[in-house]
Structure 1
Amino acid sequence: MTKPQPVRGYIEGYYGRLLSWPERHDLLGTMHNLGMNAYLYAPKEDACHRIRWRQDWDQQWWQGFTAFTAAAREQGITVMAGIAPGIDLDFASLDASGGDHDTAILRDKAKRLITAGADQICLLLDDIDPLFTRRQGRFSHEGEAHAALTNAMAGHLDCP
């Protein structure tokens, strides 16, 4: 059995100015020199990551992301791409099989991120409306809804 490797890296998951692709590339070299092995792309100011998560990124973003993941791979750095749908995902529409419209959007976006070079997908459900009852549907607890969404996504992406 292989010993698990610790994850050491950088989380671009804050509020504030987005980094440019050249700035992200510069970070990769520094991370490599420091022995870091992971980069999480999840900036809250990236509208397509969070506020307008149902919307796709433009072609220029995809080109930048694809080049970034290739450069990260050369440095031995795993790229994790975050999607944060919790701000307005309607859990009431999540059916028992996980086959609703929002899940399809998440699945397609995650698959495209993987095709563009993301090694892992992070489903982020932080900084969300505290009044879960407005969109809870069949779920009695928020954690139950989050687990159902996560399990549905794992099934769609063939994750364990």
Structure 2
Amino acid sequence: MPERPAPQPSTGAKADQDSLEAAAQRLAEERHAAQRYGKLPYVVHLAQVRAVLSAYGYGGALGVAAWLHDTVEDTDTTPEEIAARFGEEVATLVWAVTGTGESRKERNRSAYEKIRKHPQAAILKLADRIANVEASREHPDKRAMYRDEHEAFERALAGLGDPRMWARLRAALLA
């Protein structure tokens, strides 16, 4: 029987992607360290967004962006820093879901406009919204806000994203 070669350590694209995602998680934990998600550390929300993406088989740049999606909006992290550390694709995804403006309505509108220009970001935004809605079960005021916004959210992102994720979001809003 011929000898099998010894297994080689993984040095391919998957290992590189895992390393990039781990670096994104570390940066997000550092930048959001003082922030809370309700009573929990903010990283809990980021992990939930990543878990939603994983449930539908999404990884790569979307997996990296899951950890970073709120850094530009909520910390002093810039899109240029994201691009330098994680690449243009990740930076574009993060920037597309970053709302700018004085009010929540303005911030949502700006993110929706950017997402329409970068449709892949709709998957990230859906994962974020699913994580937020599912976490709001114990917070009726938050749940009401997401329900009130849902029609505009659907209209703004019509035809984008993953239909399975849309179904999960709708179900979560009804729960």
- When normalised by structure 1's length, the TM-score is 0.36
Q: Which has the larger radius of gyration?
A: 2
- When normalised by structure 2's length, the TM-score is 0.34
Which structure has more RCO (C-alpha within 8 Å, separation ≥ 6)?
Answer: 1
User: Which has more helix, going by share of residues?
Assistant: 2
